[in-house]
Amino acid sequence: MRAAGWQVVQVEFRHHYFSVGATGEPQRSRLYCSVHLTRSEPEARAALAGELGIEWAAESAAGDLPVIRRIDASRLTLQTRTGGLPFALVFEETVVPPDKSYFIDPLILHDLDGDGRSEIILAARNLVYRLRPWNRLESEALCRHSPGLIFTGW
């Protein structure tokens, strides 16, 4: 794929199931997998996503990493798109998590002022981004006093 001009942009794995297996049966894992790729000539994008099934070998040498006996990728799907990007970057900002947290979630889109355009709310960071003239986004405090450490919003 590299020779054809494809580059990996993002990879995500989420391990969401593990079974020990009865005596003599293999241990199994299920992982969500997502791989995003791009190619510049001809311009294209691809997303490979779905569930991977992994069957682990019954034993490995002492001190070695676990050994995969079999991988089932039959539940992966591939989606492709040719041509340019459907969206253009209009805003980019690095937002640091609040104290005592690793997250800036939740991110909420809601029309707070009734003007027909959604504001971008980062509740855990106590920030709201409002669209100003000339399609410029500016941040300000969401609440006068920090709500403290939160993990959900509605």
Angstrom distance (rounded) from CA 38 to CA 89: 17
pLDDT band at 128 (very low <50, low <70, confident <90, very high): very high
Tell me the pLDDT tens digit for each residue of 25-65: 778 999 999 999 999 999 999 999 999 999 988 766 666 78
Token readout for 106 is 């939740």
- Please state the pTM of the whole predicted model: 0.59
pLDDT band per the 50, 70, 90 thresholds, residue 87: confident
Domain boundaries, the chain: 6-82, 89-154
pLDDT of residue 72: 97
Which two tokens mark 137?
Answer: 């986004």
Q: Which residue has the higher pLDDT, 25 or 92?
A: 92
Structure tokens given for 85: 């990007």
Where is pLDDT greater, at 84 or 50? 50
Higher pLDDT, 99 or 29: 29
Measured CA to CA, the distance from residue 89 to residue 109 in angstroms comes to 17
On the question of pLDDT at 137 being above 80, the answer is: yes
Give the span between the Cα atoms of 120 and 105, in whole angstroms: 12
Percent of the chain at pLDDT above 90?
Answer: 46
pLDDT at 60: 65
